[in-house]
Amino acid sequence: MRLSLLIAAAPLIILGGCATATQPTAQAQDPAIASTYGKFLAGEAALNEGHSAEAAKYFDQARLETADDGLVAERAFTSALLAGDIDRAAALAPTGADASEPAKRLGRLTQAVKAISDGKGKDAQALLAGDSIGFPHRPAAALLAPWAAAEAGDVDGSLVRPQVRGDRIVDYFGQLGQAALYERAKRYDEAETDFKAALAAGARGEMASLAYGGFLERRGRRADAIVVYNASLAQEPENVAMKQALARATAGRAAPPTPSLKQGAAEALLAPTAVMISAKQAQVALAYLRMILRLDPDRDEAWVMVGDLMASAGDEGAAREAYAKPKPGSTEYAAAQSKLAWTYQNDGDKETALKLARQAAASGETEGRMTLADLLRADEKFDESAAVLTGLIAQQKSPDWRLLYARGVAYERINRWADAEADLKAALVAQPDEPELLNYLGYSWIDRNEHLKEAMAMVERAVASDPRSGAMVDSLGWAYYRMGDYKKAAEKLEEAVELEAGDPEINNHLGDAYWKVGRKDEAMFQWRRVLTLQPDAKIKADAEAKIASAAGPDGPTQKLAEH
């Protein structure tokens, strides 16, 4: 009996549905995997959890044992593609009557990409012709078609601007691609017309600005290129690629080379990839990224995006492999190193995380330095975190509110309250409706018995914006406590504990509220519970003192702040 008759057919699994990594070694020891059905299920589990290479092995084994099974063959194709084995995926591209239409379309697109990568433009043209590749891959096919034509030597065909009715992404990036292909055809006036139109339509976005600026540099018009780069940086001052381009043009160094056909085709797929990511179609996005990297293995932003997708799926090993690809000097290096550092931080390897973060920060790029500050704060190295943030803030004419907020938190943790308050207030002026800011400053005032009415109004606004936040509901409950409304405080703090059952501070607050309304046994239970929740030293000492004194928050030894 065919395996697909034993298993209900299902749509392609969307990567990222589970954040728990599979354990391939343990699976390999499972005797059930000796069966075809077991191999299929092992492949499903691995694919579902982002382990595409492991899934490919299982599905390929099952496929060989069930040669006529379309479902197994389709999964084998999918997992090979997601693992980045484009040759294998192209060979396994579904074509049979029992294969799903979306899989057939993706298979055809994969074969076209392989053909372009192999220099077989005519084959790619034939695969991309007409409407043979429909939804959801039609935009990707349309944007690739001119590059396939160029690879085939069909200059006229390469200059036809791609169109998909009602698709503004194809309109914009199709024009940008047409500009690049006009330049290749030495039709410079038409190329510049398209570059300018794309630049205007994209509000001086990075891709258009870099493409047009590079074109101007190659034409010997460095002064004009500098104007383009400066205009883009005025809108996005920290753009690393733009700063590097400006430095190159200003120094009179060699202009960037004209992108190769494969590089142009890879860039054409970036926009459809971004669309799939924004639509939460992570599996399709990963498939596109693997195609991009087949065309241009040095496309560092694609490696970073692969790392993001693998990290979100729980495959830290694959994420690290991707984040390690950009090298020093790359515009993506600092971002990749920063994200690589967080994968180690999340695994508890703080030493490696900080080492990588320091390397990223040494590049001088803002993102790398911000990551270092965040990791230092996470490791409770608040003095050093504040120092890094101070350096960043000093470089900005109008400091980013997030930097002020982060430094305010660091200052508050090292008891520099006047400095913390100043930063938090300044951040709130810049971002008056940000719930996290409203809550942090509001709670800080409440905990200090300062500005209680204003602080309560602030945390009420925060809770209204995010009523499922246990921390924010806790702030509101603690405001009622500070204002003497203990019954209302207990109600709100019970709600906060339901939302964040494992938070030691919220449980500690609830114990205090219970004590004040006469529910002393329940208060003692809450404080004892606090000690099981890995509280920090301050909260631990506070709970222990209340238990030992048997006088609760009213005891003479109870002078520690609850926060």
Give the pLDDT confidence score for residue 97 in this predicted structure.
77
Nearest to 291 by CA among 313, 265, 322: 265
Nearest to 71 by CA among 133, 134, 7, 135: 7
Spell out the residues 6+ positions from residue 369 whose beta carbon is closer than 8 angstroms to its own.
360, 361, 388, 391, 392
Average pLDDT over residues 436-441: 97
**Angstrom distance (rounded) from CA 170 to CA 144:** 10
**Angstrom distance (rounded) from CA 66 to CA 303:** 35
Query: Are 500 and 471 a contacting pair, CB within 8 Å?
Result: yes
**Angstrom distance (rounded) from CA 62 to CA 20:** 24
Average pLDDT over residues 77-106: 88
Spell out the residues 6+ positions from residue 225 whose beta carbon is closer than 8 angstroms to its own.
213, 214, 216, 217, 245, 249
Output DSSP code: residue 11: P
Give the pLDDT confidence score for residue 96 in this predicted structure.
77
- pLDDT per position as a tens digit, 15-71: 333 333 333 443 444 444 555 545 555 555 666 666 666 665 656 655 555 655 556
Region of 380 please: left (phi>0), alpha (psi -120 to 50) or beta: left
Output DSSP code: residue 95: -
Give the pLDDT confidence score for residue 556 in this predicted structure.
57
Question: Which CATH architecture does the domain made up of 161-268 adopt?
Answer: Alpha Horseshoe (1.25)
**Angstrom distance (rounded) from CA 69 to CA 77:** 13
CB atoms within 10 A of CB 265: 29
At 219 the three-state DSSP class reads coil
CB atoms within 10 A of CB 201: 14
Give the pLDDT confidence score for residue 493 in this predicted structure.
98
Give the pLDDT confidence score for residue 21 in this predicted structure.
34
**One-letter amino acid for residue 293 of the chain:** L
Average pLDDT over residues 508-513: 97
* Whole-Å CA distances, 237 to 241, 301, 416, 429: 11, 19, 31, 21
Give the pLDDT confidence score for residue 69 in this predicted structure.
53
* Whole-Å CA distances, 402 to 370, 407, 433: 10, 9, 13
Q: Percentage of residues in the chain with pLDDT exceeding 70?
A: 85
Output DSSP code: residue 33: G
Q: Where are the domains of the chain?
A: 1-99+280-315, 161-268, 433-563
How buried is residue 163: exposed, middle or buried, by Cβ count under 10 Å (0-12/13-18/19+)? Answer: exposed
Exposed e or buried b for every residue in 135-153, given b needs 16+ CB within 10 A? ebbbbbbbbbbbbbbbbbe
CB atoms within 10 A of CB 252: 9
CB atoms within 10 A of CB 165: 6
**Angstrom distance (rounded) from CA 302 to CA 210:** 17
**Angstrom distance (rounded) from CA 420 to CA 423:** 5
Which pTM does this prediction carry?
0.77
Q: What is the mean pLDDT of the chain?
A: 87
**Angstrom distance (rounded) from CA 99 to CA 109:** 15
Query: Are 262 and 116 a contacting pair, CB within 8 Å?
Result: yes
- pLDDT per position as a tens digit, 115-161: 999 999 999 999 999 888 999 999 999 999 999 999 999 999 999 99
Average pLDDT over residues 167-196: 96
**Angstrom distance (rounded) from CA 15 to CA 294:** 20
**Angstrom distance (rounded) from CA 106 to CA 284:** 9
Does residue 14 surpass a pLDDT of 80? Answer: no
Which residue in this structure is represented by tokens 């191999």?
Answer: 39
Question: Which CATH architecture does the domain made up of 433-563 adopt?
Answer: Alpha Horseshoe (1.25)
* Whole-Å CA distances, 179 to 173, 206, 214, 224, 559: 10, 15, 12, 17, 70
- pLDDT per position as a tens digit, 215-236: 999 999 999 999 999 999 999 8
Does residue 366 surpass a pLDDT of 70? Answer: yes
> Do 161-268 and 433-563 have matching folds?
yes
